């Protein structure tokens, strides 16, 4: 066994699985880019206070799951547990909110949470996210949701459902908070859960323990206590989703795990993943910009799990991305042939093909086995006799047919095979 292994809960993606991982990530990103979202690259770590203030100190993410440490300057920094707070920080810092609105950004990369590792739940999780900041428009909410839906469907995933609700606004949440606290304080809650009920009662509804879920089954529902404005906003979102052909299920008891959500809140779930059924989610965060020191602007976004989406595809028996790591594989049978094939490989790569070569002294059988394992469609086979004749053998690895092609025609012949 190797002396060093990956940390617990941190997956490696190696070929051929890595090709599927990249295809899922890129497919989800492509859906966002097509809707006008520009790419943003964010730091892996940020000031700890950014997440404590932005995500919410009462959340499990901040209180239990963050990777926080002091750097050599004795500053508290945290590996990012989610993407929205960092994007909002960047928008404020670089004045993007002073330009054309909404600011529409997309991103991908690793995020970090200290959770109990299990299938579909990792300590390093890969996500694709979008944020649309600066416009409070229910049509924008619907667009964001539709982008996520389109991303999943572009991969061929179809066994998922969209659950949606509204968490209200500043005019109805305070009264609901009091109503919910009155209900919770009448329950035999443990000390820690009672403390949560005092700090942020919605967090109790997000508790995954069966005994707490059973006790709160009859808790009042915020969707029944929306202000007129919040209800109109939610109804308009739903009408836009209907027009866009995005199916949904209203889940009045859904509570997301981050404190900044307001109004529209949603989650995509896939039953093929068992207990860890969520493959993505998001919502509106109308107070977060001002809370982090920026203008009082609204925002909405989502985070989609690349790892979980890949698992969901496998649960449906589907795969994406090509396991082949190259299109053409060169098989040199002499040193002179190795040099000649290296030159041809360079020309074919410049033309956009993926080309690999057999290195070392494998012999013909060993090199052809490597060609088969590579997934290439064609092999270029050459020895000294071929070079003396001024030809290269071009072999179709599917049919087994091999033809001799003049050296100066190899590139055009190979390219023509991939454009037929």
Task: Tell me the binding residues.
Answer: 82-84, 113, 127, 131, 256, 260-261
CA distance 5 to 2: 7
Tokens of 278: 């969520």
CA distance 235 to 199: 30
Tokens of 413: 């012949």
How many CB atoms within 10 Å of residue 345? 20
Cite the annotated binding site for L-histidine by residue number.
82-84, 113, 127, 131, 256, 260-261
Sign (positive or negative) of CA dihedral 264, 268, 271, 274: negative
Tokens of 242: 């209907």
List the beta strands (DSSP E) in 322-401: 328-332, 355-357, 378-382, 391-396
Q: Are 282 and 107 in contact (CB under 8 A)?
A: no
Q: Are 140 and 228 in contact (CB under 8 A)?
A: no
Produce one character per residue of 204-232: b if its CB has 16 or more CB atoms within 10 Å, e if not. bbbbeeeebeebbeebeebbebbbeebbe
Query: Which residues lie closer than 8 Å to 115 by C-beta, 6 or more apart?
Result: 9, 65, 121, 122, 123
């Amino acid at each position: 066994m190797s002396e060093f292994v990956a940390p617990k809960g941190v997956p490696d993606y190696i070929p051929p699985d890595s090709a599927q991982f990249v295809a899922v990530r890129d497919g989800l990103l492509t859906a966002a880019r097509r809707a006008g979202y520009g790419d943003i690259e964010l730091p892996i770590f940020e000031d700890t206070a950014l997440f404590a203030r932005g995500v919410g100190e009462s959340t499990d993410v901040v209180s239990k799951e963050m990777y926080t440490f002091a750097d050599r300057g004795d500053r508290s920094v945290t590996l990012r547990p989610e993407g929205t707070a960092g994007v909002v920080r960047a928008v404020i810092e670089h004045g993007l909110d002073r330009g054309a609105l909404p600011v529409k950004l997309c991103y991908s990369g690793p995020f970090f949470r200290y959770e109990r590792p299990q299938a579909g739940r990792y300590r390093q999780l890969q996500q694709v996210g979008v944020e649309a900041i600066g416009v409070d428009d229910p049509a924008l909410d619907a667009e964001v949701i539709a982008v996520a839906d389109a991303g999943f469907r572009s991969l061929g995933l179809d066994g998922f459902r969209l659950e949606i609700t509204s968490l209200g606004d500043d005019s109805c949440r305070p009264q609901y908070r009091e109503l919910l606290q009155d209900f919770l304080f009448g329950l035999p809650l443990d000390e820690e859960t009672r403390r949560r009920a005092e700090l942020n009662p919605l967090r109790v509804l997000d508790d995954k323990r069966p005994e707490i879920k059973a006790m709160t089954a009859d808790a009042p529902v915020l969707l029944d206590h929306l202000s007129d404005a919040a209800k109109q906003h939610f109804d308009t979102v739903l009408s836009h989703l209907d027009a866009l052909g995005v199916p949904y299920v209203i889940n009045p008891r859904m509570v997301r795990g981050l404190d900044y959500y307001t109004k529209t809140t949603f989650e995509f779930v896939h039953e093929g993943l068992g207990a860890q059924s969520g493959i993505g989610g998001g919502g509106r965060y109308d107070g977060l910009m001002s809370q982090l020191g920026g203008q009082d602007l609204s925002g909405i976004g989502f985070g989609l799990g690349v790892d979980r989406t890949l698992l969901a595809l496998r649960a449906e028996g589907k795969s994406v991305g090509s396991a082949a790591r190259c299109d053409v594989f060169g098989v040199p049978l002499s040193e002179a042939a190795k040099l000649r094939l290296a030159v041809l490989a360079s020309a074919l790569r410049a033309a956009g093909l993926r080309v690999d070569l057999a290195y070392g002294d494998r012999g013909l059988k060993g090199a052809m086995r490597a060609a088969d394992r590579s997934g290439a469609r064609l092999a270029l086979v050459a020895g000294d006799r071929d070079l003396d004749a001024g030809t290269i053998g071009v072999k179709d690895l599917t049919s087994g047919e091999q033809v001799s092609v003049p050296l100066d025609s190899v590139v055009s012949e190979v390219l023509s095979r991939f454009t037929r």
